[in-house]
Amino acid sequence: MTTVKLPDGSLKEFDSAVSVKDVAKSIGSRLAKDALWGEIDLQPVELDYEIPQGEPVNLKIITKKDPNALATMRHSCAHVMARAVMRIKPGVQLAFGPTIENGFYYDVECDEPLTEEDFPAIEKEMAKIIALDEPFERLDRPRADAIQVCKDLKQDFKVEHIETGLADDDSLSFYQQGEFLDLCRGPHIPSPRRIGAFKLLSIAGAYWKGDQSREQLQRLYATAFFTQAELDAHLELLEEAKKRDHRVLGKRLGLFHIDEMVGQGLVLWTPKGSFVRQKLQDFISEHLQRQGYDQVFTPHIGKLDLYKTSGHFPYYQDSQYTPLVDREYLSQLAEEGCTCGELSNLMNEGEIEGYLLKPMNCPHHIRLFASEQRSYRDLPIRLSEFGTVYRWEQSGEIGGLTRVRGFTQDDAHLFVTQEQLGQELIGCIELVKIIFDAMGMEDYSVRVGLRDPDSSKYVGDPQNWDLAEQACREAAQTLGKDFSEDPGEAAFYGPKIDFVVKDCIGRKWQLGTVQVDYNLPERFGLEYIGSDNKPHRPIMIHRAPFGSMERFIGVLIEHFAGSFPLWLAPEQARILTVSDKSEEYGKRVESQMRDAGIRVKGDYRSEKLGAKIRDGQLEMIPYMMIVGPRDAENGTVSIRDRIDGDLGAIPVEEAIAKFQSEVAEKTVRRTSS
RNA sequence: GCUGCUGUAGCUCAGUGGUAGAGCGCGUCCUUGGUAAGGACGAGGUCAUGGGUUCAAAUCCCAUCAGCAGCUCCA
């Protein structure tokens, strides 16, 4: 008699010995077909495993749909990969080898570094190991034994990990497969034959335990799927994603240029890219005006005193451009025989006179606020500026438009009373929502950064913090979207709400941000006169709904895969003549459209129509208007839509009206998600 | 900043020790073609920069700069 208890609590009884597969069959033929392996009392077993008779056993049949099935298989594949590397390279030290979103990695340290040229050999060895079909066997060892096992294996990272990271565990598990033994929590698949298809993807550096001061390891990235077809589909998806990379599209569509001679991370906007940027600025400016913001302009530099007061200099010196040392101060230092080393020390200590390229706009706005006496009747004061700031980002972090050294924030600083804080935060969130909605961006996440209760780095009154954190939560709730609350993610000066999106290869970027600040009003001694005729300290809100124009446009290019909606497209429509004979008519239509405010160009080359269409498609022109003798005769254009193709001939006026309404509606029509 | 890879024509790339190639683009000419590439000819490169090895370097070595991936960082 065999009795199994299924995850739903139901019991199934069998008169004779049965395998896992038999149980699956008894439940349904579909399940039997989809079953990958079983789990008896949480231990993975093969499908042909004969279930022990007698006492009831807990059985779970694992299928592809099981959320952990793929991850479990991939983790087992990571073991196989590590084993293969150890067979090929001597003296391999193993670190961590977890599963990640679309695959897995294993951190290793080798005497001679691995390169991508080693991949074929590793993959071949992995295939051999899988063909051996040795099971993954779990071994539990008491703490002291476990340390000894790792010492015997000469796996120093594992020893350290047990001694520090797993200091509270009395018993530790290992998994053994053939000669390969590894400290591992599990679970694993019952045998490697469940690894359908795998591929090594890349190799990169990573620090042991993520600590820059520790050993640098080599991280082998790979992925695995249950079938070759799934792996192929995944790889194709990666290729497709690369095609919408904003760096590739930015070059192909001529949106921006980053020039070696100008400097790393410094963006040159081409006319087309500048157009998109300007349109976005105009768009948000209109909403700022509606919300009662005042726009201001401030310079790109400020005296060091300003940043000493704000606290930004010298504390963030590593991420700032070197100061512009005051001319007279510099000659004075020279007269005193100051050496380079001494100058450097003076900079480190912040004891230097000169100017700084502004790393943020707040100090300038603060001085504008402080330039007049303010009454509670004036508040809230909302100063906004498309302010360009410069930060010395680490060279290895810079790339494309998403991480640059000079960027323009759609910045604003709100000076508010405690009572106004909640409502103003909601207003800020509203702006972010307006932007995401207008772009049809739904795939973003919201993070409320709260203070870490165990840390003392935060400035300001804890009661105010509580109020501000609650105000942030309430503001976030107005989005009607899930948000995460992240303790420890607040800035030292106040809580914040961040908006995060992913780029084409899955990297996360913060776009919009709304931050409460109790610190700067304090440091600058800001005041307003209250209704009680006494001075009070305002609270500041920093907010940037786009984040920065650079990063936002970078993400936006990928979001639209280069196909901007009509209202944002630098070139909205293009006239394509069928032959030279229609050039005159084409030019007439062109000027008619231009007069109607359409951004139109004409392609009058003596190319065949097919070639002109192809070029227009590749340049992602929203509408192509084909004009030939037939159109000239009827006063029409034959419209071709970037997405839907040929729409047939319509009168020129009708085409103009169509475009104008699409622009007015800010319609978003995307070719793919 | 760290590790690894990469840097050849405007763009994408081939070229592994014997003084440079393709496709696209660009120019000129021919072609006058109705919904994703018509044809011919031509111009265009101190092979990222600076050193070194060698009779000889795009090719091998070192440094610098830049790009890519990851790590670390991001007021």
CATH code of the domain in which A652 resides: 3.40.50.800
* Domain end position, chosen among A357, A382, A401: A357
Query: Confidence band (pLDDT; 50, 70, 90) for A556?
Result: very high
Backbone torsion region of residue A209, taken as left when φ is above 0, otherwise alpha when ψ lies between -120 and 50, otherwise beta: left
Same domain, A289 and A217: no
Out of A107, A182, A411, A517, pick the active-site residue.
Answer: A411
Of the residues A247, A312, A365, A391, which is catalytic?
Answer: A391
Do both A283 and A166 map to the same domain?
no
Whether A365 maps to a domain, the answer reads: no
A496 tagged catalytic: yes
Q: Do A54 and A198 have their domain in common? A: no
Residue closest to sugar C1' of B30 by CA: A606
Residue A590 included in any domain: yes
**Residue A608 shares a structural domain with residue A580:** yes
- What is the pLDDT at residue A374? 97
A96 and A193 assigned to the same domain: yes
CA A564 – CA A558 distance, rounded (Å): 10
A397-423 average pLDDT score: 96
Identify the pLDDT of residue A25: 87
Bridge partners (DSSP) of residue A191 are none
Specify if A409 maps to a domain: yes
Return the pLDDT at A485: 93
Cα dist. A289→A292, A383, A409, A620 in Å? 5, 11, 17, 32
Same domain, A285 and A433: yes
Could you tell me if A58 and A99 lie in one domain?
no
Question: Shortest CA distance to A412 belongs to which of A457, A467, A471, A368?
Answer: A368
How far, in Å, CA of A578 to CA of A572, rounded? 19
Q: Are residues A524 and A399 in the same domain?
A: yes
Our answer to whether residue A411 is catalytic in this structure is yes
Q: How many residues does chain A have?
A: 673
Given a cut of 60, whether residue A673 has pLDDT beyond it is: no
As a rounded value in angstroms, the CA-to-C1' distance for A256 and B65 is: 21
List the domain range (segments joined by +) for residue A626: 573-665
Over range A443-467, report the average pLDDT: 88
ipTM of this complex:
0.95
Contact A652, A636 (CB under 8 A): yes
Q: Within this chain, do residues A293 and A305 fall inside the same structural domain, yes or no?
A: no
Is A397 part of any domain?
yes
Task: Say yes or no to pLDDT of A244 above 90.
Answer: yes
Residue A288 and residue A433 share a domain: yes
**What Rg, from alpha-carbon coordinates, does chain A have?**
32
Number of domains in chain A: 5
| DSSP line for A99-124 | EETTEEEEEEE-SS---GGGHHHHHH
pLDDT-derived band at A455 (thresholds 50, 70, 90) equals: confident
Q: Which nucleotide is nearest to A491 (CA to C1')?
A: B75
Rounded CA–C1' distance between A489 and B6, in angstroms: 36
Map tokens 């109020």 to a residue.
Answer: A467
Residue labelled with tokens 């209202």: A567
Classify the C-alpha dihedral A103-A109-A113-A119 as positive or negative: negative
Q: Which of A77, A184, A362, A504 is catalytic?
A: A362
**φ and ψ of A295, to 5 deg:** -90, 140
Q: Decide if A118 is inside a domain.
A: yes
Active-site option among A246, A413, A451, A543: A413
3-state secondary structure of A14: strand
In strand B, the nucleotides that come within 7 Å of a protein beta carbon are 1-5, 11-12, 30-38, 65-75
Which pLDDT band, with edges at 50, 70 and 90, does A671 fall under?
A: low
- Nucleotide with minimal C1' distance from the CA of A496 is B75
The closest nt to A578, taking CA to C1', is B34
Nucleotide nearest to A100 (CA to C1'): B70
A160-216 pLDDT per residue, tens: 999 888 888 888 999 999 999 999 987 888 888 889 999 999 989 999 999 989 999
Q: What is the pLDDT of residue A457?
A: 81
pLDDT digits (tens, 9 = 90+) for A66-108: 888 899 999 999 999 999 999 988 789 999 999 998 999 999 9
One domain for residues A136 and A222: yes
Tens of pLDDT along A599-634?
999 999 999 999 999 999 999 999 999 999 999 999
Residue nearest to nucleotide B36 (CA to C1'): A614
Local confidence band at A368 (pLDDT 50, 70, 90 cut-offs): very high
Which domain CATH number covers A284? 3.30.930.10
Protein residue closest via CA to C1' of B68: A399
How far is A207 from A191, CA to CA, in rounded Å?
Answer: 31
Between CA A142 and CA A140 the distance in angstroms is 7
Is residue A74 situated within a structural domain? Answer: yes
- Residue environment code for A553-571, b if the CB has 16+ CB neighbours within 10 A, otherwise e: bbbbbbbbbbbbbbbbbbb
Q: Give the nearest nucleotide to A245, CA to C1'.
A: B68
Q: Straight-line distance from CA A574 to C1' B43, in Å?
A: 29
Q: Which nucleotide is nearest to A206 (CA to C1')?
A: B71
On whether residue A671 sits in a domain, the answer given is: no
Mean pLDDT of all residues belonging to chain A: 92
Query: In 3D, which of A475, A361, A479 has the Cα closest to residue A410?
Result: A361
- Domain containing residue A8: CATH number: 3.10.20.30
**Would residue A213 count as lying in a domain?**
yes
Catalytic residue among A83, A403, A496, A612: A496
**CA atom of A357 to C1′ atom of B12, Å:** 38
Mean pLDDT of A117-131: 91
Q: Which helix (H) or strand (E) holds A342?
A: helix A340-348
In this predicted structure, the answer to whether residue A345 has a pLDDT above a threshold of 90 is: no
The distance (Å) linking the CA of A248 with the C1' of B14 is 21
Arithmetic mean of pLDDT, A114-139: 89
Residues A405 and A504 in one domain: yes
Q: What is the dihedral of CA A536, A358, A553, A410, to 10 degrees?
A: 20
Confirm if A540 and A387 have CB atoms less than 8 A apart. Answer: no
| Tens digits of residue pLDDT in A627-663 | 999 999 999 999 999 999 999 999 999 999 999 999 9
Return the percentage of chain A with pLDDT > 70, whole number: 100
pLDDT band at A488 (very low <50, low <70, confident <90, very high): confident
Estimate in Å the CA A137 to C1' B12 gap, whole number.
Answer: 50
Closest nucleotide to A202 by C1' from CA: B69
CATH, residue A194: 3.30.980.10
How many Å apart are A117 CA and B51 C1'? 29
Residue–nucleotide distance: A463 CA to B32 C1' (Å): 79
Our answer to whether residue A246 is catalytic in this structure is no
Q: Is A413 labeled as catalytic in the residue annotation?
A: yes
Query: What's the confidence (pLDDT) of residue A112?
Result: 78
The answer to whether residues A530 and A536 touch, using CB atoms and an 8 Å cutoff, is: yes
What does the pLDDT look like over A583-594, one tens digit per residue? 999 999 999 999
